[in-house]
Amino acid sequence: MQHASNNTGLITSSSIQLEPFFVARLPLPPSTNHLYIEVPFYNVTHRAKRTRVLAPAARNWKHEALLRLPSVAIVNQATLDRLRLPQRRGVPRPQLSMEVMLYLKDPWRRDLSNCLKLMEDTIFGYLGLDDVSVFDLHPRKAHSDDPHMQVSIRVLVPGGR
């Protein structure tokens, strides 16, 4: 896939994607509609407030995914180490492209976008990167009798340099 960089350094339609530095197969996460629950807490004035926390199903999925990732993820460690380096002044921050393929028993019963947030947060937390670096996102879904997701992440090279 080709993308390009304009004079701002952001991707456009002709930047070049390198080979993925991260590939993993994971079980499907819970839908975004079921990620959070509201719980009461008491602040310093002992007044009840409400805050949102991960729902038990989301916490469990994230925990299981983090346990599973070391054995199922294929990671180019040299690329990951370079991405983790502190930013130097005047050097553009790396931009990432993420492809997500959802394999579902019935693709018509699940929103594509509702499967992305928890997966993205979990994988980027595992990698020690900030998901704000994703400039290019390609989610897709297809039928499968074996429901799962396949995720790959690439570094975009603006302007092919």
At residue 34, the pLDDT reads: 77
Specify the pLDDT at position 14: 47
The pLDDT tens digits of the residues spanning 116-134 come to 999 999 999 999 999 999 9
Q: Looking at 7-16, 36-45, 130-139, 146-155, which range is the least confident one?
A: 7-16
Kindly state the tokens that stand for 128.
């020690």
What's the confidence (pLDDT) of residue 155?
A: 94
Q: What is the CATH number of domain 2-160?
A: 3.30.1330.70
pLDDT given at position 3 = 40
What integer best gives the mean pLDDT of the chain? 85
- A 10 A CB-CB count for 123 gives 22
Domain ranges of the chain: 2-160
**If pLDDT is split at 50, 70 and 90, which confidence band does 78 have?**
very high
Is the overall model pTM greater than 0.85, yes or no?
no
pLDDT band at residue 60 under the 50/70/90 scheme: very high
Query: For residue 17, what pLDDT band results from cuts at 50, 70 and 90?
Result: low
CA distance readout (Å), 114 to 33, 39, 96:
7, 22, 21
Winning range, highest mean pLDDT, from 82-91, 111-120, 126-135: 126-135
For residues 37 and 129, which has the higher predicted lDDT (pLDDT)?
129
